[in-house]
Amino acid sequence: MEKMPYRPELEVIPVQAAFDNRVDSVHSDWRDGLPMLHGERVVLRELRASDAASLFALLTTEEVSRFISPPPTTVEGFEKFIAWTQRQRAAGNYVCFAVTLKGFDTAIGIFQVRQSSGFGTAEWGFATGSAFWGTGVFPDAAELVLEFTFDTMGVHRLEARAAVLNGRGNGALLKIGFVHEALLRKSFLRNGDYLDQSLYALLDVEWRRARAAEASAPVIVH
């Protein structure tokens, strides 16, 4: 997570079946363009240049950015980042979804998945505006991205990193099924300090097992 959503050097780099019908128009050739994914609260879509202003306003606050690599410092920097995400998606290396609320088209955050060794193993990262923390936006968007990652992209192992000091980020990963695997000592440089990180992973078989158990759970009516 801390290596997302942005690294300053990016500005100069040129360049299947779903468990329910919340995924709209998912296709295997996501390199041609990302589908829109519909959840209960959110709609995920491809980033557009017009998202730069809202992402700059929401993701550059100290509260949001303190545990991620420094985001772009200008709206123009976000525009360059968005263009880079589209080139990387077309090359088959990476996907980045904009998070929007149902009924609104403003981007309030991002979810990213990038290949580590092909897409057998991938790493994800996410960032959302602090005003939307604790509102149910994260788990709703996360489930859509996990479904897309395992079912459409064919990822076997999905990894995530979170600074040990980032209690909210660690808790969010555990809540959606990630397993803590290791402590990465002094592995993340932020504001001149090296921070310890936790390494998490979620396997496709674990995710499918949890989904199947959830689907077969009895409905309790009061």
| Residue 221 in domain | no
Domain that holds residue 193: 8-213
The pLDDT of residue 221 is above 90? no
Mean pLDDT (whole number) for 177-199: 94
d(CA 153, CA 146): 10
pLDDT of residue 34: 96
pLDDT at 41: 97
- Region 86-91: mean pLDDT is 95
Q: Is the pLDDT of residue 9 over 90?
A: no
| Total domains in the fold of the chain | 1
Decide: pTM greater than 0.75: yes
Residue 34 is part of a domain; what is its CATH number? 3.40.630.30
Q: Does residue 115 carry a pLDDT above 90?
A: no
Where in 19-167 does DSSP place strands (E)?
Answer: 37-38, 42-46, 94-101, 109-117, 121-128, 157-163
* Residue 30: inside a domain: yes
pLDDT higher than threshold 60 for residue 12: no
| pLDDT confidence tier of residue 29, bands split at 50, 70 and 90 | confident
Residue 1: per-residue pLDDT = 55
Q: How confident is the model at residue 20 (pLDDT cuts 50, 70, 90)?
A: very low
Check residue 201 and give its pLDDT.
98
Mean pLDDT of the chain: 87
Q: Which residues of 2-39 are buried (b: 16+ CB within 10 A; e: fewer)?
A: bbbbbeeebbeeeeeeeeeeebeebeeebeeebbebbb
192's tokens: 């001149």
In a domain, 25, yes or no: yes
Domain-embedded: residue 220: no
pLDDT tops 90 at residue 124 = yes
Residue 101 forms part of a structural domain: yes
**Mean pLDDT within 69-80:** 95
Q: 14 or 37, which is more confident?
A: 37
Mean pLDDT, residues 163-183 taken together: 96
Residue 26 predicted with pLDDT over 70: no
